[in-house]
Amino acid sequence: MGLKEIVSELLTGGLVTLEVATGAWAVSVTFGLLLAMLREVGVPGMRWPALVTTTALRSVPQLVVLYILYFGLGAVGINVPPLLAAIVGLGITDGAFSAEYYRASLLTVSASQRDAGYSVGLSRVATFRRVVMPQAVPYMVPPWLNSFVGLLKTATLASAVGVPEILYDGSNIIDQTGKIVYVMVIIILIYVVVTMPLARFVGILESRRRTTVGT
């Protein structure tokens, strides 16, 4: 297998990795925001379940969650496709970690802003949707992008349930050719090319946010 074939196969795996990361990121943002909202809005009876769920998921290794969704559910007759198991498993665990960042963003909105919403007759939920969220979103953008960068790297765990992502394909190439260092260097280069611009962009956004807050 020559260089062209190796790179082509790894790029194919890279696209699957991107698919896993993108899907997991969508789940993470949705689930993380839901957990943060349940704790911040103070829906009766939901604050403690949200806190327990967040703590439990943050305490369990992501690989264990993937095994539960794929092998565990499969053992009781619920067959989850590998790709779906990877997306949901990585998404909910990352969402549990990201929930605290989202909650911190929500807390940047002062109590006076919330009181102003209540004073004009808005309900707690309406105040959250119309007053709090629009002001908190700019603070959430860097955590959103950081989450995506992190998921691009943790998406390699999907190989544990048979998803043919970049590391999965790399392992197969190594088995065929024995070129361990050669393949790993290419994988590293692919990751550097993809993640460095994103990481740099996040840094710029965070710098601008600090400048804005400082003024």
Summary mean pLDDT of the chain: 86
Cα distance between residue 161 and residue 63, in whole Å: 9
Largest CA distance in the chain: 70
| pLDDT given at position 71 | 94
- The mean pLDDT of 23-40, rounded to a whole number, is 90
* Helix, strand, coil shares, percent, the chain, to 5: 85, 0, 15
CATH architecture entry for 3-214: Orthogonal Bundle (1.10)
Tens digit of each residue's pLDDT (9 = 90 or more) over 52-104: 999 999 999 999 999 999 999 999 999 999 999 999 999 999 999 988 888 88
For residue 158, give both structure tokens: 């999907």
CA atoms within 13 A on the CB side of 26: 9
Q: What is the pLDDT of residue 42?
A: 62
The mean pLDDT value for 34-50 works out to 79
What average pLDDT does the segment 151-158 reach? 92
Integer Cα distance of 102 and 55 in angstroms:
15
pLDDT: which is higher, 140 or 152: 152
End-to-end CA distance of the chain: 58
